[in-house]
Structure 1
Amino acid sequence: MQQKKVTIHAPATVANLVCGFDVLGMCIDAPFDVMEVELINTPEVIIKNTDSYHLPTAPHLNAAGAPLLELMLSFNKPIGFKITSNKNIKPGSGLGSSAASAAGAVVAANYLLGNPFSKNDLVRFAMAGEKVATGIKHADNVAPCIYGGVTVIRSIFPLDVINIDAPPLYVTVVHPQIEIKTADARQILRKEVLLKDAIKQWGNIAGLVAGFMKKDVNLIANSLEDVIIEPIRSILIPRFDDIKQACKNAGALGGGIAGSGPSIFMLSETKAIADTVAQVMQHTYTEIGLPHFTYVSQINNEGVKIIQS
């Protein structure tokens, strides 16, 4: 008998990974959204939000609803879905809030349908949710949320995702309680870059990917440098430079802006270092009276997780 309902955890993600703007992403354990998806007989998407973010419930305007509409068009039978969503990843946090909604919805729907679609298909559907949220289709959050681990987006059209089983590093994230909209963060970027900066950036991207694949922490640390995006976006984040340097002094391999911010992430070799890095982040923002949340987790190599079926 076909299963009618499933509950999933849709985890946060960190896009860009400092130097890989729009092409690199990483899945982390916390925070995560909880979503219940039910298969219904009428060809529609019904959305109920149980959190306090007042997100749209019209499917075509919702980051979870729009991908399901795409999935339904590709399925050869009339189907529909009811979503009950409880978001723990705050919109505008830089931690892939819209991606969690989009990826969680399509993974759950695919599971209920007997998994007729590939992960690549699901990323393609989920990109419709990112277009709703940010105005453009990009995959650097939805891909790691679906595949888990670290992903490289070699191409969007056609979609080509490379999944990397990352080394067992720890991720510390601080989310200062300010909001930076992705669309706004894109507007301030330069439209042209110097060739010498592009060459340096390409070297860092290649080094970071090689570092993950070889599980070479020194290569990872040396490659976590952004000479194009971070110098501009970091001005939107209070005490960014101070936090980054203090975390590296505390033993972190490196890190930077999570997605478009305002969250900041740092990679560490051990949980003890990651916990110390969290204390450094907390101290810096407590000092200036800025409310914040911190999370310490490992790189999540699983992605969206079915927790109840």
Structure 2
Amino acid sequence: MSNDIQEVKKESSSYATGLGSLESVHVFAPATVANVVCGFDVLGFAVNEPGDEVIMRRKDKPGITISKITGDDGRLPLDPAKNTVSVSVQHYLDSIGSSDIGLDIELHKKMPIGSGLGSSSASTVAGLFAIKTLLGDDTDPMKLLPFAMKGEEMACGHGHADNVAPALLGGFVLIRSYDPLDVVRLPSPKGLYCAIVFPDVDVPTREARQIIRNKIQMKDAVTQWGNIAGLVSGLFMQDVDLIGRSMQDVLVEPVRSMLIPDFYKMREIAMENGAVSFGISGSGPSVFAFTRDEETAKLITQKLQQHLTNIKIGSNGYVSPINDGGPKVIG
């Protein structure tokens, strides 16, 4: 990843002197669904909601400050050395020789922390897109990915890209390789919707990674490879049935599902009500289902939330198509 950062330094060095003309910018970055059932650490896609917002302003005094964080119930640090947004922005500024610039950041969490929906990556991507916009840097947004991965490394101990890449680029992405970093944007069928339900239970990402098996049987590996290939093929062929058949995980889901109350009952409810597929979003506890239309996605979200209410678990629900745009300036 250091080589990727060096490339950004070469391409963006001109912005160290130009620095753009904007004084402030307000950016939204989307939530993401990582793994997409069978694609552990290599597949992810962005959704329209929820997401996070960053307001970034220039200030005269050099250095980065965080003046406000909302929507986090006091859980996130205001210390710029400990917050994923400011840390990733600082890495970016260091790479282009503008480490002495003065910035103030407001972070507005519009999505649950620890939801399995890429909460930290949405915040980080919003911050990086904000500084890119503020400085008038028109290089390829893909160049921000190594810095976003630095934020993920701080958040969960592992700099994976299956959340930050779709949040940054929009759409469906495949992480073909991490060394060297090679990210491929994939097509997706028009009309494909996602029903997402976040049960109000705690499944920390670090702990969810620790329970995954380090060794697997060859027959399970072959099954997983076939499903990943089938899912990618289904996306390119616009074949929703193939997508549904391919979204099966024999490696990670059997273990992580134990951390999510009534996971298999929720799958049954989703499939009985028209879901194409069902699985865990990221490390959980959020679950998601693909559907062929918005109305089915709304119905499944309602049914799943009602089931959780019946077993005395609160939840948030979201319905969205796949977000093709990624982050955007909203003010």
Mapped contact 1:165–1:301 kept (Cα < 8 A):
no
- 1:236 aligns to what? 259
Q: Among residues 46, 51, 60, which one is paired with 1:32 in the alignment?
A: 51
- 1:207 aligns to what? 230
Stretch of structure 1 that moved more, 66-75 or 109-118: 109-118
Q: Deviations over 1:214-258 (max 9, x none)?
A: 211011001110000000000000010011121011111002000
Q: Among residues 114, 122, 130, which one is paired with 2:136 in the alignment?
A: 114
What pairs with 1:1-309 in structure 2 (closer than 5 Å)? 2-47=21-66, 48-51=68-71, 52-77=73-98, 78-168=100-190, 169-308=192-331
Unaligned runs of 5+ in 2: 1-19
Mapped contact 2:53–2:123 kept (Cα < 8 A):
no
Q: Deviations over 1:245-293 (max 9, x none)?
A: 2101111100200000000010100111111111220121011011111
How many angstroms does 1:40 deviate by? 3.4
Mapped to 1, the partners of 2:309 and 2:285 lie a distance apart of 16
Q: Deviations over 1:157-187 (max 9, x none)?
A: 2211111232231110110111211100001
C-alpha distance 84-188 of structure 1, shift in aligned 2 (>3 A): same
Mapped to 1, the partners of 2:82 and 2:112 lie a distance apart of 17
Mapped to 1, the partners of 2:214 and 2:60 lie a distance apart of 47
Stretch of structure 1 that moved more, 94-103 or 154-163: 154-163
How many angstroms does 1:42 deviate by? 3.9
Stretch of structure 1 that moved more, 152-161 or 100-109: 152-161
- Aligned residue pairs: how many? 308
Mapped to 2, the partners of 1:23 and 1:243 lie a distance apart of 25
SS in 2 for 1:14: strand
What is the RMSD computed on CA atoms of the aligned residues?
1.3
Stretch of structure 1 that moved more, 37-46 or 89-98: 37-46
Mapped contact 1:120–1:159 kept (Cα < 8 A):
no
Q: Deviations over 1:188-209 (max 9, x none)?
A: 1111111110111011111111
Mapped contact 2:171–2:322 kept (Cα < 8 A):
yes
- One-letter code aligned to 1:124: P
How many angstroms does 1:85 deviate by? 0.8
The normalised TM-score by structure 2 is: 0.90
How many angstroms does 1:116 deviate by? 4.5
How many angstroms does 1:59 deviate by? 2.0
- One-letter code aligned to 1:151: V
Question: Alignment identity in percent?
Answer: 42
How many angstroms does 1:69 deviate by? 1.2
How many angstroms does 1:41 deviate by? 4.3
- One-letter code aligned to 2:83: N
Mapped contact 2:91–2:147 kept (Cα < 8 A):
yes
Q: Deviations over 1:59-100 (max 9, x none)?
A: 231111111111011113342321101102111110100000
C-alpha distance 175-282 of structure 1, shift in aligned 2 (>3 A): same
The normalised TM-score by structure 1 is: 0.96
SS in 2 for 1:11: strand
**Runs of 4+, deviation exceeding 4 Å:** none
- One-letter code aligned to 1:257: I
Unaligned runs of 5+ in 1: none
Mapped to 2, the partners of 1:159 and 1:41 lie a distance apart of 36
- One-letter code aligned to 1:49: I
SS in 2 for 1:256: strand
